[in-house]
Amino acid sequence: MMEEMISVVVLTYNQAETIGRALDSILMQQCHVPIEIVIGEDCSTDNTRDICKTYAKQYPDIIRLICNERNKGIVDNYFDCLLECRGKYIADCAGDDFWIDAQKLEKEVTVMEVHPEVTMVITNWQYYDEHTQGTYPSRQQQHAPITPGKNLLRAIITQQNMSVFHLCTALYRTDIFRKAYEEDTDLFRNKTYVSEDMQIAFTMALNGDMAYLPDVTLNYSLGDGSVSNVKDSEKAFRFVQRSTELTCHLANQHHLDIQDFMTQRIFELGMHAFRSHQPSLAEETLVCEQKWQVARSFKNKCLFAVMRHEWLWQAGLALRCVFVRLKQAVC
């Protein structure tokens, strides 16, 4: 039985330096609807768990701490926490991010109460540099105050031009999630997809309207890297490959035309293979191209032609190094 309450999910793993900041930003919320905080502590090896226990002891009526006995990973940890939520609404705040607007939840839940057709409310956000403590604007797409969700389906699964949503700014309806989860659990639990936020946003858009507030409510932390912000070419290849599997699945399931996006994704995979200088990744790119039934563009033909001949590949890498150095010198 869902309660008239907001459940805020906080996933954390080895975030001793930032988890207190995240929890404080939630506890400072001024909202007429009561909140609970569901923390999924994923078997940290630092003192993150001890910090969470201190907060749970200090706020026993608000915080429910789930201490995993083994490391589950982001996907299982997240959906296990969602299933524990008792509130009518769900919000997210990652353990290394933090909210900067004490009225965030109040503004969002007010929209939900006035507009029952709205399934998700999102806001603007900004980047936060952990090293300099400076902030700079996101590339958040500006939306109408309320948009029919089905008009955003393609944008949500491609994020082609700029960010359509950031889940840590969102508030969404628990019942919509649970119904979708029961009908297609694999969509949410499939580890191949390396994602949890796209499924949520897509599900909400499929079942109602999306509301947008221009207020900046979140500092999104940029530290040494994340799953979707990786520097290693092979790791980046795997992330693009697996996230595109989800995009392709949703597009096929709901008959969305994303051929231009898929062509670009093949090029991205090819470039990661090129930079890593791994023929096996180039072959995997070709397999993906066939599997996803992507027509080969002229740009992709040129890229594959270069990687087909080792001497051309070596020359291309050398030329790229020259361009990179020249760019660095100019900057």
Distance, CA of 268 to CA of 254 (rounded, Å): 24
Distance, CA of 118 to CA of 173 (rounded, Å): 9
**Token pair listed for 328:** 């660095």
The confidence score (pLDDT) of residue 228 equals 45
The confidence score (pLDDT) of residue 229 equals 47
Mutual orientation of helices 233-253 and 197-206 as an angle, nearest 10°? 20
The confidence score (pLDDT) of residue 216 equals 96
Tens-digit pLDDT profile for the chain (331 aa)? 688 999 999 999 999 999 999 999 999 999 999 999 999 999 999 999 999 999 999 999 999 999 999 999 999 999 999 999 999 999 999 999 999 999 999 999 999 999 999 999 999 999 999 999 999 998 877 888 999 999 999 999 998 655 678 999 999 999 999 999 999 999 999 988 888 899 999 999 999 999 999 999 999 998 754 444 445 889 999 999 999 999 999 999 999 999 999 999 999 999 999 999 999 999 999 999 999 999 999 999 999 999 999 999 999 999 999 888 887 777 6
pTM for the whole structure: 0.91
Distance, CA of 254 to CA of 247 (rounded, Å): 11
Distance, CA of 217 to CA of 244 (rounded, Å): 29
CA torsion angle 251 201 88 112 (round to 10): -110
Distance, CA of 206 to CA of 153 (rounded, Å): 7
Token look-up 């915080």 returns 63
Q: Which of 25, 24, 62, 65 is nearest to 42 (CA)?
A: 65
Amino acid at 55: Y
What 3-state DSSP class applies to 35? Answer: strand
**Token pair listed for 309:** 């001949």
DSSP string, 100-163: --TTHHHHHHHHHHH-TTEEEEEEEEEEEETTT--EEE--BPP--SEEEGGGSHHHHHH--SSB
The confidence score (pLDDT) of residue 37 equals 98
